[in-house]
């Protein structure tokens, strides 16, 4: 399995610092590019 690259990351729908948790209902699996884009959008909206 050498040479494989996993680009998936866990995203907290409600951030931990805002009272979210690590439960399945608060997590999404996102491609790393989508994860970065989602965080950029979240920071713009706040």
Render pLDDT for 9-27 as a digit per residue (tens, 0 to 9).
999 999 999 999 999 999 9
**Considering the domain boundaries, does residue 39 fall inside one?**
yes
- 19 falls within a domain: yes
Residue 46 pLDDT level (bands cut at 50, 70, 90): low
Q: Which pTM does this prediction carry?
A: 0.70
Q: What is the pLDDT of residue 21?
A: 98
Share of the chain above pLDDT 90, in %: 54
Contact yes or no for 12/25 (Cβ under 8 A)? no
Q: Is the pLDDT of residue 4 over 90?
A: no
At 20 the pLDDT is 98
Is residue 37 a part of any domain in this protein? yes
Q: Which two tokens stand for residue 11?
A: 């995203």
CA distance 14 to 36: 16
Range of the domain at 31: 8-45
């Amino acid at each position: 399995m050498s040479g494989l690259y996993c680009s998936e990351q866990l995203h907290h729908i409600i951030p931990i610092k805002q009272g979210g948790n690590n439960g399945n209902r608060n997590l999404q699996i996102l491609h790393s590019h989508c994860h970065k884009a989602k965080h950029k959008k979240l920071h713009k909206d706040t």
